[in-house]
Amino acid sequence: MACFGTIMRKYILMSLGVLLALSWRSVFAHANLDSSTPAAGASLASAPPELRLDFSEDLDPSFSSVELLNSQQLVVVPGPGVIEPGMPKQLRLALPPLPNDSYTARWRVRSTIDGHITEGSIPFGVGTALSASATLPPFGTPDPALALPGVLESSLRWAMLLLAALLGGVFGFGALIWRVEDSASAAAATRRLVQVLTWSALASLLVGGVFLLQQAALAGDVGLAAALGQPLRALLTSRSGLLLLLRLGLIGALLLLTQRLAAPHGAQQQRWRIGYGMAAVMLLTFSLQAHAAAVETTRWLAIGSDWLHLLATALWLGGLVALALLYQTARRSSSTAPVPLKPTLGRFSQAALLSVAVLALTGLYSSWRQVGSWELLLATAYGRTLLVKLGLFGAALGVAALNRWWLLPQLRRGPAPGVWLRRTLWIEAGLGALVLGCVGVLTSSAPSRAAWAAHTQAGLMASTDQAQTELVLRIAPTTVGSSVIAVDVRDARAGVSDVPAEVILHLSLAESDVGRQELHLTSADQQRFSTQGTFFSLAGAWDVEVVLRRSGFDDIRQHFGVVIAPATQAATR
């Protein structure tokens, strides 16, 4: 036992050392484009010698690239560009002499912190002027603020978090909460917990391997089968790949340790404590790949808060599963109240209260850091998912309150509450699993702040869908001065394809004597109607009425509220 324990403790220390080495450098999640040379929409007299893109965080050189296309959408400079070792946030592409034409630099980069992919384009002209809407994203581009992650990635992240919580929580239950004497009933209960740990570890290894392959496919922009080659090899040498490998190694070590577990009493308790320590380090690998590691200042505070959040989640959720299994075992072994479990129930109740307090405090801190305002809770997919998570968490707290202040006192007074306690324990655990499902979506999505920044960079977007017609309003920038206004039209009414459309805008500033402006937008394809000029002369809340007119059809009208700011940020209402 002493030799085995020493080996495991050394493994924990070695793993922590690797984590510190991988996390020494400062990084910032989601590689958003900060600036470019030339700037988007620039009209140049002659071709620049190079294209330079500056991002908000370090880029993964193996999976970051840029290419240049001409007005015919032909690749004239294939890239992938270079990332200098001393400038990991900058992607550069040397350019040959270019003839007069309009060009688009199309980029796709990967974050070194969490593996998230961002992509976009930079249009500019050489010896020619760009169209009014050239700086806006292509027709049909979804709103970055409302973009949802892929189902596969979110599901894999959810499964990994759920299985990790089970491993950490059950080991934590045995290390901190459960105290038993060696007996046949204790051995039977331990066998059930060992089964949960064994299957959780095996499933974690399987899901982790699939996730590793999925991340390689996503990074290489290839299918899963094609990712088995160079993309997977490149991913395994990256920071995120090494963290995933370390996590799988810790899970494998936990699987070996699980086979040597006995009921947690006396010297046997040490193995549970070692397992809990290893599980805690394994959970730390999630925090080092989460949005928490993206903070430029107070980075370690953010990572520590996220780690505490995961530890509390694991102890609560995994402890619930362990407690429910012990309760079932105790009731099957005796027809009377499970008196030996009463102290364990009391200790778990105290641990659950502490976990809930930690979850509330760290969750509040994370929400403030990632969302930042009440408005973004509703305006972004991240914020809406967070609201769903909070609702599920509130429901779980309701069931927990029922257990804590009604069923457990009944158990202490004498007769056990029977099947009700078993059911409520599993219901509470099920709600906790759904909460982690929301976390899987959140960790796959851009936080509200980053998503809204991409939203404003792409042009303010507001949309309406009425009478089989969708109108999307885009304005860039949403500040006083010159701006581009575009309306994207999808009209599915019968017979409209042969009837030309006209889009008219009416602009007015609320609570002002500024007169109403009327703008007639032009279009080359009857899909995007645009104009460019100085239309917003004053900061404030503007009303933009969009009118879609076709001869022989009813007009489609929609009012949009737009906040025009003297600075660089705005919002829709």
The structure tokens listed for 140 are 């049909």
Residue 240 has pLDDT above 50, yes or no: yes
Mean of pLDDT values over 236-244: 88
Best-predicted range by mean pLDDT among 57-61, 73-77, 260-264, 419-423? 73-77
Better pLDDT: 236 or 263: 236
Q: What is the dihedral of CA 114, 361, 450, 382, to 10 degrees?
A: 90
The share of the chain scoring above pLDDT 70, in percent, equals 86
At residue 386, the pLDDT reads 92
Burial of 225 (0-12, 13-18, 19+ CB in 10 A): exposed
The beta-strand segments (E) located in 143-247 are none
Predicted confidence band of residue 255 (pLDDT cuts 50, 70, 90) = very high
Q: Which amino acid is at 195?
A: Q
* Angle, alpha carbons 420-421-423 (nearest 5°): 65
At residue 1, the pLDDT reads 45
At residue 12, the pLDDT reads 45
Residue 200 has pLDDT above 90, yes or no: yes
Mean of pLDDT values over 131-150: 81
Mean of pLDDT values over 21-27: 40
Mean of pLDDT values over 400-428: 69
Residue 549 has pLDDT above 70, yes or no: yes
User: From edge to edge, which strands make up the β-sheet containing 75-77?
Assistant: 42-44, 117-126, 101-110, 65-69, 75-77
pLDDT 10s digits, 333-373: 554 434 456 777 778 888 888 998 999 999 888 888 888 88
Residue 139 has pLDDT above 60, yes or no: yes
The structure tokens listed for 54 are 């500056």
At residue 572, the pLDDT reads 39
3-class secondary structure, 211: helix
Rounded to 5 degrees, what are φ and ψ at 454?
Answer: -65, -35
The structure tokens listed for 160 are 């990994």
At residue 567, the pLDDT reads 52
Inter-residue contact 123 to 40 (CB < 8 Å): yes
Average pLDDT of the residues of the chain: 83
Closest CA to 123 of 105, 99, 97: 105
Predicted confidence band of residue 184 (pLDDT cuts 50, 70, 90) = low
At residue 323, the pLDDT reads 84
Inter-residue contact 157 to 438 (CB < 8 Å): no
At residue 194, the pLDDT reads 92
pLDDT 10s digits, 439-466: 999 988 888 888 888 887 777 777 778 8
Q: What is the pTM of this model?
A: 0.82
Closest CA to 504 of 462, 556, 568: 556
At residue 17, the pLDDT reads 46
At residue 339, the pLDDT reads 41
Mean of pLDDT values over 464-491: 87
Residue 537 has pLDDT above 70, yes or no: yes
Asked which of 32-36, 262-266, 386-390 is least confident by mean pLDDT, the reply is 262-266
Predicted confidence band of residue 374 (pLDDT cuts 50, 70, 90) = confident
Inter-residue contact 29 to 57 (CB < 8 Å): yes
Predicted confidence band of residue 383 (pLDDT cuts 50, 70, 90) = very high
pLDDT 10s digits, 92-118: 999 999 999 989 999 999 988 777 888
Predicted confidence band of residue 274 (pLDDT cuts 50, 70, 90) = very high
Asked which of 11-15, 59-63, 434-438, 560-564 is least confident by mean pLDDT, the reply is 11-15
Predicted confidence band of residue 20 (pLDDT cuts 50, 70, 90) = very low
At residue 336, the pLDDT reads 43
Please give the radius of gyration of the chain, using alpha carbons only, rounded to the nearest integer. 29
Better pLDDT: 571 or 329: 329
The structure tokens listed for 216 are 């390689």
Residue 183 has pLDDT above 90, yes or no: no
At residue 142, the pLDDT reads 82
Mean of pLDDT values over 509-533: 86
Mean of pLDDT values over 203-212: 95
> Tokens 């609702």 belong to which residue?
391
Inter-residue contact 392 to 442 (CB < 8 Å): no
Residue 473 has pLDDT above 80, yes or no: yes
Mean of pLDDT values over 531-547: 89
- C-alpha 175/C-alpha 46 separation (Å) is 70
At residue 163, the pLDDT reads 96
The share of the chain scoring above pLDDT 90, in percent, equals 35
Asked which of 130-134, 449-453, 474-478, 553-557 is least confident by mean pLDDT, the reply is 130-134
Predicted confidence band of residue 129 (pLDDT cuts 50, 70, 90) = confident
At residue 458, the pLDDT reads 74
pLDDT 10s digits, 36-86: 888 888 888 898 999 999 987 788 898 999 999 998 889 999 989 999 888
